[in-house]
Structure 1
Amino acid sequence: METSAALAVVVGANGGIGRALATVLADQGRYDRIIGVSRTRPADWPHNPLFDFVAADITDEEQVAAAAAMIRQQGSPDRIVVATGLLHGPGVSPEKTFRTLDPEALVALFRINAIAPALVAKHLLPLMPRDRLSVFAALSARVGSISDNRLGGWYGYRASKAALNMLIATLAVEHRRNRPLGVCVALHPGTVETPLSAPFRQGASTAAKRLTPEQSAGALVDVMDRLQPEDSGGFFAWDGQPIPW
């Protein structure tokens, strides 16, 4: 049953961009509650009635379903942002050549960058309202654009983000059948100064090309606030410019 409570859900609340998104959304004053979702509660997650937190590993469907049930009890989210992603980590690093492709690394990238957001959509999209504008957004990356790929490399990350993009485009087709005012989009947050991008910022060496998490989050919220139903199924950069698939 839908309620009148205005909710915003940030999945990946313990990441740099996710935590900043929660703050920006709270500062807007338009939501009754900001619900953060991640494996662990951020150390600086506020302890006040405006902020709630649900612990869940979004690669585990049972945990995603349980998180959705808890969110459902609070209302119908107008805004859901999936701010998770994997670029590098133990056994995972952007490939410079196909000769270094590793099956286990590819599985890990697809699990985090594509499958996990798909599970979130599966369980949280049905919670969104039918009678008003709503936005479901997942953070993708410009390198996931097949049309924009001129440099090559980064096989697993590119492919997993391209898979995410296709999932979003396909979700949008089905979502609009039941929720014509619902918007599903992929967003590129820019080159952001977070641990995810720290080792790979050579291509954004000037300060003008880098964003703090707060700058990126503010820009992304501005983009989402301007979206209309006809934008559903799109891919947009942090500055609002569309990105070709």
Structure 2
Amino acid sequence: MRCAVFGASGGVGAALARALAARDDVAEVHVGSRGAGGVPQGDKFRHFAFDLTDEDSIAAACAQIGAPLDMVLVATGRLTRSDGTGPEKAFRAVTAAGLAELFTINTIGPALIAKHVLPLLPRERRAVFAALSARVGSIGDNRLGGWHAYRASKAALNMLVRNLAIELGRTHAQALAVTLHPGTVDTALSAPFQKGVTPEKLFTPDRSAAALLAVLDGLTPADSGKLFAWDGAEVAF
């Protein structure tokens, strides 16, 4: 298999790339990041640069990777704003700039990756497109409110991938597109919000990556368009 991980310099992204490279059925893992640092190194890895906010760079990266791609994982995301503020605890903290920034990273960027990577997926065999989402992006599961920009941007991502799955099913009968909840992972993104998380529910990136790949291995085209948690449970939109 030829695989690509967008966001391979992050904790979960790097762990996913390493886990894929360790598999005997994987020949190449294309690892993407904004800069050259932080991505895994090794014989199976092929680095590409991309800017999640720049569609031209995404298109150029996909052209560099080339076809076929059997698995595409989008491990990008942002919980707080680039200035360190957020997530919002009350609606009075919502701003246009904050919403725009998180939608750009959590929703629009992955959608543009999907736009340019779909032509690289084979039509004659199984192919997987998966993007990291979050349980808090579930409308039906929302009991606490708050975190408005993050919740809304991840809910929008879930909807876009559902749309993608429907379209993909018309041309790629064996393919699937899903969103994934990785659990609470011990990374820089979650570090300020780990208080109260019990040790057994705070995952290392490697544990989360292994669980997510196991979930993907067990899915069929009938599961396309859904949101799955790290333990394989479907999360309602």
**Alignment TM class, shorter chain as reference:** over 0.9
Q: Which residue of 2 aligns with 1:54?
A: 48
Whether contact under 8 Å (1:91, 1:105) holds in the other structure is no
CA distance in 2, matches of 1:238, 1:11: 19
Structure 1: 4+ residue segments shifted above 2 A = 41-45
Q: Is 1:90 aligned with 2:90?
A: no
Q: Can you list the C-alpha shifts for 1:127-159, whole angstroms capped at 9, x where unaligned? A: 101011111000000000000000000000000
Shift of 1:102: 1.3
Q: Which residue of 1 aligns with 2:228?
A: 236
Shift of 1:92: 3.7
Q: 1:116 aligns with which of 103, 106, 109?
A: 109
Shift of 1:47: 4.1
Whether contact under 8 Å (2:73, 2:131) holds in the other structure is yes
TM value normalised by structure 1: 0.94
CA distance in 1, matches of 2:170, 2:60: 26
Q: How does 1:61-72 map to 2 (within 5 A)?
A: 61-72=55-66
Q: Is 1:141 aligned with 2:98?
A: no
Whether contact under 8 Å (1:235, 1:242) holds in the other structure is yes
Residues 215, 146 of structure 1: alpha-carbon distance in 2 compared, 3 angstrom cutoff? same
Shift of 1:31: 1.3
Secondary structure of residue in 2 paired with 1:184: strand
CA distance in 1, matches of 2:42, 2:213: 23
Q: How does 1:161-240 map to 2 (within 5 A)?
A: 161-204=154-197, 206-240=198-232
Q: Which residue of 1 aligns with 2:26?
A: 31
Whether contact under 8 Å (2:30, 2:45) holds in the other structure is yes
Q: How does 1:150-169 map to 2 (within 5 A)?
A: 150-169=143-162
Whether contact under 8 Å (1:13, 1:42) holds in the other structure is no
Whether contact under 8 Å (2:79, 2:150) holds in the other structure is yes
CA distance in 1, matches of 2:157, 2:184: 18
CA distance in 2, matches of 1:144, 1:129: 30
Which amino acid letter does the alignment assign opposite residue 156 of structure 2? Answer: A
Residues 124, 44 of structure 1: alpha-carbon distance in 2 compared, 3 angstrom cutoff? closer
Secondary structure of residue in 1 paired with 2:69: strand
Shift of 1:174: 0.3
Q: Can you list the C-alpha shifts for 1:24-62, whole angstroms capped at 9, x where unaligned? A: 0111121110000110123462142x1100001022000
Residues 180, 92 of structure 1: alpha-carbon distance in 2 compared, 3 angstrom cutoff? farther
Residues 188, 44 of structure 1: alpha-carbon distance in 2 compared, 3 angstrom cutoff? closer
CA distance in 1, matches of 2:144, 2:159: 21
Shift of 1:203: 4.3
Q: Which residue of 1 aligns with 2:73?
A: 81
Alpha carbon RMSD of aligned pairs, Å?
Answer: 1.0
Secondary structure of residue in 2 paired with 1:202: coil
Q: 1:9 aligns with which of 4, 12, 32?
A: 4
TM value normalised by structure 2: 0.97
Which amino acid letter does the alignment assign opposite residue 35 of structure 1? Answer: H
Q: Which residue of 2 aligns with 1:3?
A: none
CA distance in 2, matches of 1:226, 1:190: 18
